[in-house]
Amino acid sequence: MSKPMNQAYQWPEAGERRLPRFIYTDEAIFAREMERIFFADSWNYVALSCELPNPGDYILSSIGNVGVVVSRDRKGEVRVFVNRCPHRGARLCERRKGNNKLFTCPYHEWSFNLEGRLVGVPLSRGVDGKGGMSEQFDPSAHHLQQLHVAQRHGVIFASFSNTIAPLTDYFGPKILKYFDRVCDGRPLKVIGKHKHVVYGNWKLQIENVKDTVHAAILHAFFTLFGIWRSDQKTQIVVEANGRHSVLASTATFTKQEGSSSTTANGEFQLADERLIAHSPEFQEATGAVMTLWPNLIFLQQLNCLVMRHVEPVNSNSCIKTWTFFAYADEASELTERRIKQANLLGAAGLVTIDDNEILASCQQGIAYPQDFQCVLEAGEGNGDCDYMVSESAIRGFYQYYRQVMEL
């Protein structure tokens, strides 16, 4: 365990009700986050299992700011490797996804099999009996760096930690109940991907989804068309130590006559209701947004199902990768509906685009000189509550963050 952060990083006396500027702007803090959060005791979302159905299939992902390759080996096991050749450090795999029999580094063409073993070194015997690899070179000592892998109902997580708790203990029953509500073991299929930069610290993006207060204020579309109101039935569920949370909420919809779908009751009506009309398919809430420590946003809203992977780049930006999914065996009309709603809730949709802009604006303002603290005074405590105007889930997140970061 390294030493606590020095005096330059004093957390405000008000505890989690104030967030200091340096956690969003300081590169030493960012480096500490990588070391203590992403490369330590965390299960990091990397991909959906259905993205690599066959042996040799792979897809690129990340853990913190480290690129990884998620792949399926010859026996069908999922493996996660650091995307780095152990020879000279080059990126081993460049294509975003594909199918390989071997992973071959472009620099000197060292080749690795699907289990990560070094199986080919060109020119290892030199040329014309001269040169080549030395006597002491042992290929078995140079395999790919491999991470621990855990899966639940088609969702793949990986960890650098040798001491990490099993996935079920890591999430705990309160959170798993919501996870399993959508990912219940039915086979999944990917129906779309978005990827874009957010010009804000990765934690601003996580906070944004835990921030129930802004939804009915910033997102005018939500309120005007009746998809979201601050007085709708709401449950904020926070895991005991604060790191994961769920916002489960129910908008009021009216059943359409002679149809299985429902439409919103808002001040305005869309000429074409297909964007927001939805078929109810889950118990308890019309939307459940989970934020799973450290950086997965698992969203179900109306018929939109998506994993939003928030990939930290540096202290002032992150990349958000969206994987929209559906159930493999569902009716094609339902899949169509999910794709349509990606235009509402996706990266350039009528809602998220507000967040992208406001997060960049916050990042810029927070970075202005001099001292600055964000204020989190809405609601009480750092845990569960049954009303919307609360920042308790954000405070819960920082309660755990401070513990891990020793701040």
Choice between 26 and 357, CB closer to Fe ion:
357
Return the range that interacts with Fe ion (CB under 5 A); candidates 141-149, 164-172, 288-296, 352-360.
352-360
Choice between 46 and 347, CB closer to Fe ion:
347
Positive or negative torsion for Cα 30, 397, 17, 355: positive
Choice between 83 and 301, CB closer to Fe ion:
301
What lies within 8 Å, CB to CB, of 177 at 6+ separation is none
DSSP helix/strand/coil, 310: strand
Choice between 264 and 345, CB closer to Fe ion:
345
Choice between 172 and 349, CB closer to Fe ion:
349
End-to-end CA distance of the chain: 14
Return the range that interacts with Fe ion (CB under 5 A); candidates 67-75, 246-254, 322-330, 347-355.
347-355
Choice between 52 and 248, CB closer to Fe ion:
248
State the minimum distance, in angstroms, from the CB of residue 2 to Fe ion. Answer: 35
Greatest pairwise CA separation for the chain in angstroms: 83
**What residues form DSSP beta bridges with 20?**
373
Return the range that interacts with Fe ion (CB under 5 A); candidates 31-39, 46-54, 189-197, 355-363.
355-363
Q: Cα(202)–Cα(193) distance, rounded to whole angstroms?
A: 19
Return the range that interacts with Fe ion (CB under 5 A); candidates 4-12, 78-86, 313-321, 351-359.
351-359
State the minimum distance, in angstroms, from the CB of residue 182 to Fe ion. Answer: 20
Choice between 39 and 322, CB closer to Fe ion:
322
Q: Which helix (H) or strand (E) holds 401?
A: helix 392-405
Q: Does 355 bind Fe ion (CB under 5 A)?
A: yes
Sequential DSSP letters for 226-290: TS--TTSEEEEEE-TTSS-EEEEEE--EEEPTTSS-EEE--SS--SSGGGT-B---SSS-SEEEE
State the minimum distance, in angstroms, from the CB of residue 383 to Fe ion. Answer: 22
How crowded is the C-beta side of 286, counted as CA atoms within 13 Å? 20
Return the range that interacts with Fe ion (CB under 5 A); candidates 237-245, 348-356, 365-373, 389-397.
348-356
Return the range that interacts with Fe ion (CB under 5 A); candidates 123-131, 133-141, 349-357, 370-378.
349-357
Q: Does 207 bind Fe ion (CB under 5 A)?
A: no
State the minimum distance, in angstroms, from the CB of residue 352 to Fe ion. Answer: 7
How many residues make contact with Fe ion (CB under 5 A)? 1
Q: Which residues of 103-116 are buried (b: 16+ CB within 10 A; e: fewer)?
A: bbbeeeebbbbbbb
Pairing of strands 233-238, 245-250: antiparallel
**Are the beta carbons of 20 and 398 closer than 8 angstroms?**
no
CA angle 224, 356, 239 (to 5 degrees): 85
State the minimum distance, in angstroms, from the CB of residue 72 to Fe ion. Answer: 35
Per the structure block, which two tokens stand in for 229? 């109101």
State the minimum distance, in angstroms, from the CB of residue 107 to Fe ion. Answer: 43
Q: Cα(394)–Cα(213) distance, rounded to whole angstroms?
A: 11
Measure the CA dihedral 366/297/321/27, to 10°.
30
State the minimum distance, in angstroms, from the CB of residue 356 to Fe ion. Answer: 9
State the minimum distance, in angstroms, from the CB of residue 133 to Fe ion. Answer: 55
- Phi and psi for 339 in degrees, rounded to 5? -65, -45
Q: Cα(33)–Cα(312) distance, rounded to whole angstroms?
A: 10
CB nearest Fe ion: which residue? 355
State the minimum distance, in angstroms, from the CB of residue 400 to Fe ion. Answer: 22
Pairing of strands 262-264, 118-120: unpaired
Provide the mask over 296-335, with x wherever binding to Fe ion is found by CB under 5 A and - wherever it is not.
----------------------------------------
Choice between 311 and 355, CB closer to Fe ion:
355
Choice between 72 and 210, CB closer to Fe ion:
210
Given the rule CB under 5 A, which residues bind Fe ion?
A: 355
